[in-house]
Amino acid sequence: MALAADRLETLLPDHKPALTTAQARAEAGRCLFCHDAPCIAACPTGIDIPLFIKQIHSNNVLGAARTILEANALGHSCARVCPVEVLCVGDCVYNVKGEPPIMIGRLQRYATDPAVHGGIQFFEAGSSTGRSVACVGGGPASIACAHELVRMGHRAVVYERNPWRGGLNTDGVAPYKMQAEESLKEVEYLSAIGIEWRLDTAVGDDVTWDDLEAEYDAVFLGLGLGTDSGLGIPGEDLPGVWGATRLIRAIKTGAGSLPDPASLGAAVVVGGGNTAIDAARELSLLGVPEVMVAYRRDQDAMPAYLHERGHAVEEGVRFVFRTLPLSFEGDRRVEAVRLTALDHDLEPTGEPYTVPADIVALAIGQARLIDLLDQVDKLDHDWGRVIVDPDTGQTSNPKYWAGGDLANGGEEVVNAAAEGKRAAYGIDGWLRENGGR
């Protein structure tokens, strides 16, 4: 399915634009090439960061790309979407010296862009083992797992309920970090070694788990999380009240009837996580003049990254803490939010008040796929969070592995990539020991 050419994300700027060759060489020259580099330890996929930066410095850009992609097949998108400020860059030794840390993410983008955009492949499918694996869910965890499995010689087939590939990288990542077309480009590049896709196919509905178990030797679960959670308060079904991930998806893909941001006077985002910040920043950058984030706890308890909150403030987003929505008000669509202040015990205090809102985004979490997971025989999960062996990703059902948000509860793309790769090694070892079906 082609993405809408006029989707709103195309109006948003690139928050961290590509470095020029001169900028990349100069930045690479600053690296101290630490022995026991803390930046490597901070990367969930263990990329040899000093090595790839040294390769850039010596003008071996494709060698740098290979170093990155050998460790992390999703290294191209991770260069854009990783919260490097709290991972590799946050652990750069220059922070201790009181100097600007190395721009690792932007150097990683500089290295991987030529390979991905040019279709330069470093890896190929291994000799066929005759074994096959179904990867359920088309996001980073499944892609990383499938890519590694194909390199090992196994057949990997990814099942995705949407008409496009890439999962949240395509329809959920803030567009000022990476737009959908870049994600699709990366998936095309990675799939070229032999990953197969079944789009518009919902496992559990269009295909049963029994079907998968009969056709494949193993199954990887990379389904992510479910739909946006609601507050269960009056007016929540009014037009203009969105789940935050559904709103971001509409901005990124054009799927959904979003109003022209220029016609909106005010927006309220409810929640305190990174998704809330993404939604608020997108609305502000698209031209909504008044964007407010309402969070029920104190500022210090806000789970969103501090650097992301700082960018939001710079872009005009206003934060209100210890505040709880009571209802959404309006006639034919939402027009206002009725709120109450909370005391330090999170109990209502004072008189409720109303603020205008032409659009509301609820970023208070996502539903867990409990009913779907309960269809799988002997699959242990904790309220939708699949329990896995931390070394292999294998579940309580020996034919199933899991990774990404479904297993970690909702972490970063780089964590999903690491867990998908871990599962691929676990599956490969199990298949070789047990002979598959």
Q: For the segment 281-303, what is each residue's pLDDT rounded down to a tens digit?
A: 999 999 999 999 999 999 999 99
Q: For the segment 329-360, what is each residue's pLDDT rounded down to a tens digit?
A: 999 999 999 999 999 999 999 899 999 999 99
pLDDT at 202 over 60: yes
Decide: residue 231, CB within 10 A, 0-12 exposed, 13-18 middle, 19+ buried.
Answer: middle
Confidence of residue 130 (pLDDT cuts 50, 70, 90): very high
Q: For the segment 304-326, what is each residue's pLDDT rounded down to a tens digit?
A: 999 999 999 999 999 999 999 99
pLDDT at 436 over 70: no
**Which value, in Å, is the radius of gyration of the alpha carbons in the chain?**
22
C-beta of residue 178 within 8 angstroms of C-beta of residue 267: no
261 secondary structure, DSSP code: G
Q: What is the 3-state secondary structure (H, E, C) of 201-238?
A: CCECCCECHHHHHHHCCEEEECCCCCCECCCCCCCCCC
Confidence of residue 391 (pLDDT cuts 50, 70, 90): very high
pLDDT at 2 over 80: no
Task: Please state the separation of Cα 363 from the chain's center in Å.
Answer: 15
The pLDDT of residue 428 is 98
CB half-sphere exposure, 366, CA atoms < 13 A: 22
The pLDDT of residue 418 is 98
pTM of the model: 0.96
Please report the domains of the chain, with CATH numbers, ordered by start residue: 8-118 (1.10.1060.10), 132-226+367-434 (3.50.50.60), 241-362 (3.50.50.60)
* Measured CA angle at 12 (ends 82, 280), to 5 deg: 70
Angstrom distance (rounded) from CA 180 to CA 254: 11
